[in-house]
Amino acid sequence: MRIVIIGSGAAGATAAQFARKTNRTAEIVLVSREPYGEYSRCGLPYVLSGVIDRFDSLIEYSPEWFRRFGVELRLSTEVTSIHPSRRTVTTASLLTSEEELMDYDSLVLATGARASIPPIPGASRPDGGLEDRVYTLRTMDDARAIAGALDRASSCMVIGAGLIGMELSEALCSRSGDSTLLSCMVDVQSHVLPAMIDADIADLVERVIAAQGIRFLPGTSVFKIESGDRCHVYCRSSYTGEEFSYSVDMVIVSTGTSPDTALGQSAGCAVGHSGGIVIDNRCRTSVEGVYAAGDCTEYDDFITRQPVPIGLGSIAVRHGRVAGINAAGGDECLAHGLLNSRTTRLFGLEVAATGPTCVELQKSGIEPIVGKVTGSTLPEYFPGGKSITAKLLAHPKDGRILGAQVVGEEGAHQRANLLAAAILNLTTAEQFLQLETCYAPPVAPTLDCVTLAAEAVRTKWKRTTRSEAQSDA
């Protein structure tokens, strides 16, 4: 049996490992356009910041590691076409252009995503590359290019205040020791991390970045970039209509990604509404023998049941695992939808979320009950406790927990994990209150802020159902 995996990112590399664990004798070939083994994309901002000493440190699975694990790794190699009826792929070396026809029993597409550059005049060149002084961060080569440019730059602008844009902004501040290198960060949306948290929680993050001296312009779109000796970035405020420009040495565009589905589509794999390859709960595409995992795919949101593109490493490894096991003849299932549990740490603040935001729920026609509590990580009387805020979103009908956002100096992501388990288990706020959490004065309070937030939800929910019962009567 031969399993061919296309892409050596988190999904592809994990698929290879679990295919090997599932089937000790199968031949496993991992094909990658890039010249590296598996490396952490999410770690790239931290090399730019200097927290991680060099790019090579991000390589989690080296070519040598794959060799020892019995996986044939073909680097700098492109799959140029897939022939599902004959179960073959054609590969071409990016170094020698040499072509090869390879047959497969199972094929795993883990082609990932590309940085999505908005159609701003002056951002991209006609050939698809970026204009001078314009950068984006997706691959290690992207990051090396940014690092080289930063060495010569004294001013930089970041377009997009999502996860990567925010982490890049922090990296620029760490690199220069202050906020002078980062001229400003703009986003078309009204607050930072719009896909992750609601405005009220983002406000806590914005206070911290403001305290760092970072200039963040919400509701601001870029309508033109002119590159020359410097880079002129023309902006428009959606609030005031005002137009203005920044003159900087370089611009980094961090406005999200789009699934890389070209190869999958050429093989006949169906692509869904959100633009990703459609998979079932065993990572099977619409083409027999072809699996897909990671950022090139889409999958239903657990709550809204709408397909959303995969965009998180944590999901890529989980889906890669399932794709690898099934491609190798095992039988493993994905969860019944995506929670998009997500976290980051910015200027000492840990931000985490799971499930849809309030805004996303409202778009799906659900007006959630909100319970928000700011507490401490330790009992009030114990020194060293840190402030922590939890926001819970619950269904107005049954009080079921649908989403959560947590912010604090520490422990936010662990609380989001606990709430992710609650969401996945269809737990109501009332049931959540029954859960025994650990307590000891130097470790945690008897009732954590997430429990208190559930109590707030329950109180509101009881009040609503009571008043509805009264108005029915």
Q: Tokens standing for 26?
A: 């199968």
Q: Tokens standing for 396?
A: 């107005």
Could you say which residues in the range 143-172 bind a second copy, by CB under 8 A? none
Q: Tokens standing for 275?
A: 């633009």
* H or E element at residue 3: strand 2-6
Q: Does 17 bind a second copy (CB under 8 A)?
A: no
| Among the listed residues 76, 411, 460, 464, the single contact to a second copy using CB under 8 A | 411
| Among the listed residues 154, 238, 362, 446, the single contact to a second copy using CB under 8 A | 446
Q: Does 253 bind a second copy (CB under 8 A)?
A: no
Q: Does 313 bind a second copy (CB under 8 A)?
A: yes
| Among the listed residues 350, 390, 391, 408, the single contact to a second copy using CB under 8 A | 350
With a CB cutoff of 8 Å and minimum separation 6, the contacts of 110 are 5, 6, 7, 8, 9, 11, 12, 15, 292, 293, 294, 296, 316, 320, 323
User: How many whole angstroms separate alpha carbon 134 and alpha carbon 366?
Assistant: 40
Return the closest-CA partner of residue 391 out of 456, 312, 302: 456
Q: Does 387 bind a second copy (CB under 8 A)?
A: no
Residue 42 annotated to the active site = yes
Choosing from 42, 184, 235, 333, which is the catalytic residue?
Answer: 42
| Complex with a second copy: residue 267 or 423, whichever CB lies closer | 423
| Among the listed residues 221, 306, 417, 464, the single contact to a second copy using CB under 8 A | 417
**Number of shown-chain residues binding a second copy (CB under 8 A):** 68
Q: Does 422 bind a second copy (CB under 8 A)?
A: yes
Please list, residue by residue across 55-76, b when 16 or more beta carbons sit within 10 angstroms of its beta carbon and e when fewer do. beebbebebebbeeeebebbbe
Could you say which residues in the range 426-445 bind a second copy, by CB under 8 A? 427, 430, 433-444
Whether residue 401 contacts residue 423, with contact meaning beta carbons closer than 8 Å, is answered with yes
Q: Does 425 bind a second copy (CB under 8 A)?
A: yes
User: How many whole angstroms separate alpha carbon 174 and alpha carbon 181?
Assistant: 10
Tell me the pairing of strands 99-103 and 88-93. antiparallel
Rounded to a whole number of angstroms, the minimum distance from the CB of residue 56 to a second copy is 10
Q: Does 211 bind a second copy (CB under 8 A)?
A: no
Site string for a second copy, 49-68 (x = CB under 8 A): --xx----xx-x--------
Rounded to a whole number of angstroms, the minimum distance from the CB of residue 349 to a second copy is 11
Whether residue 254 contacts residue 172, with contact meaning beta carbons closer than 8 Å, is answered with no
Q: Please, which residues bridge with residue 244 across strands?
A: 235
| Complex with a second copy: residue 51 or 101, whichever CB lies closer | 51
User: How many whole angstroms separate alpha carbon 329 and alpha carbon 324?
Assistant: 9
Q: Does 188 bind a second copy (CB under 8 A)?
A: no
Q: Does 297 bind a second copy (CB under 8 A)?
A: no
Give the DSSP letter string of 420-435: HHHHHTT-BHHHHHHS
| Complex with a second copy: residue 252 or 339, whichever CB lies closer | 339
Rounded to a whole number of angstroms, the minimum distance from the CB of residue 418 to a second copy is 5
User: How many whole angstroms separate alpha carbon 207 and alpha carbon 403?
Assistant: 23
Q: Does 306 bind a second copy (CB under 8 A)?
A: no
Return the closest-CA partner of residue 459 out of 353, 379, 372: 372
Q: Does 344 bind a second copy (CB under 8 A)?
A: yes
| Complex with a second copy: residue 344 or 357, whichever CB lies closer | 344
Which residues are near a second copy by CB under 8 A?
10, 40, 42-43, 46, 51-52, 57-58, 60, 312-318, 321, 332-335, 338-345, 350, 352, 354, 379-383, 410-411, 413-418, 420-422, 424-425, 427, 430, 433-444, 446-448
Q: Which residues are catalytic?
A: 42
